[in-house]
C-alpha cells in the first residue's frame, strides 16, 4: 500500500527540484553581453535587463570598498551614461550603462555591502535593472569579450 505521507513528501521534494531547475534554466537562457568598458548586461524576459561590472573589471580593480550609484528608479538613461562609480583599494572608476532605457531597480544592498561585487560581480553584485529600448550593437558575447580582454593585456 502507498503511504500518503510518503507521496506528499516525494511530491514536495520533486516540486522544489523543479522550481530549482526552472530558476537555473531561466538564468542560463538569459543573454549576457559585455561592453569594452567592462560592464555586462543580462537581457531577461521582455525588455528587462540587468547591468553590472564584469568579473574581469572587478579583478583588475581589486577589492571594491564603496559603490555609489548616481541613478534612481524612474530615470531614463542613454547607453554610455554614467550610472555611478566603484571605489577599490586601488582606484575609483565610473560605471556606464551599456544600453539605453528606464531604470526599474537599483541594487540598494551595495550601499551597505559593496563587497557583494567582489564575491559575485556578475550575479548578486548587479547595479541596476532597466527596461531597455534596444540592444546596443557594439556589445560582445562572453567569448568575444574574453578575447578582447586578452588582446588588451598584450
Please check whether residue 84 is in contact with residue 69, taking contact to mean a CB–CB distance below 8 angstroms.
Answer: yes
* Element at 86 (helix H, strand E): strand 82-88
Q: What per-residue confidence (pLDDT) applies to 11?
A: 45
Judged against a pLDDT cut of 90, whether residue 18 lies above it is answered with no
Q: What per-residue confidence (pLDDT) applies to 12?
A: 46
pTM metric for this prediction: 0.79
Domain ranges, ordered by start, for the chain: 30-153
pLDDT in tens, 58-100: 999 999 999 999 999 999 999 999 999 999 998 999 999 999 9
* 62 vs 12, more confident: 62
Range 39-61 average pLDDT: 95
Closest by CA position to 144, among listed 49, 33, 61: 33
Range 92-115 average pLDDT: 96
* 123 vs 13, more confident: 123
Give whole-number Cα distances, 26 to 35, 48, 74, 99, 152, in Å: 23, 13, 26, 21, 32
Q: Which CATH class is domain 30-153?
A: mainly beta
Amino acid at each position: 500500500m502507498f503511504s500518503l505521507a510518503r507521496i506528499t513528501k516525494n511530491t514536495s521534494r520533486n516540486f522544489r527540484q523543479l522550481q530549482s531547475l526552472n530558476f537555473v534554466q531561466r538564468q542560463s537562457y538569459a543573454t549576457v553581453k559585455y561592453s569594452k568598458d567592462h560592464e555586462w548586461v543580462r537581457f531577461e524576459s521582455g525588455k528587462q535587463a540587468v547591468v553590472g561590472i564584469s568579473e574581469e573589471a572587478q579583478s583588475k580593480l581589486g577589492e571594491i570598498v564603496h559603490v555609489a550609484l548616481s541613478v534612481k528608479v524612474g530615470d531614463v538613461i542613454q547607453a554610455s551614461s554614467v550610472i555611478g562609480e566603484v571605489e577599490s583599494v586601488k582606484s575609483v572608476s565610473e560605471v556606464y550603462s551599456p544600453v539605453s532605457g528606464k531604470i526599474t531597480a537599483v541594487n540598494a544592498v551595495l550601499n551597505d555591502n559593496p563587497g557583494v561585487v567582489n564575491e559575485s560581480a556578475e550575479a548578486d553584485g548587479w547595479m541596476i535593472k532597466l527596461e531597455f529600448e534596444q540592444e546596443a550593437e557594439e556589445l560582445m558575447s562572453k567569448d568575444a569579450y574574453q578575447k578582447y580582454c586578452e588582446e588588451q593585456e598584450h
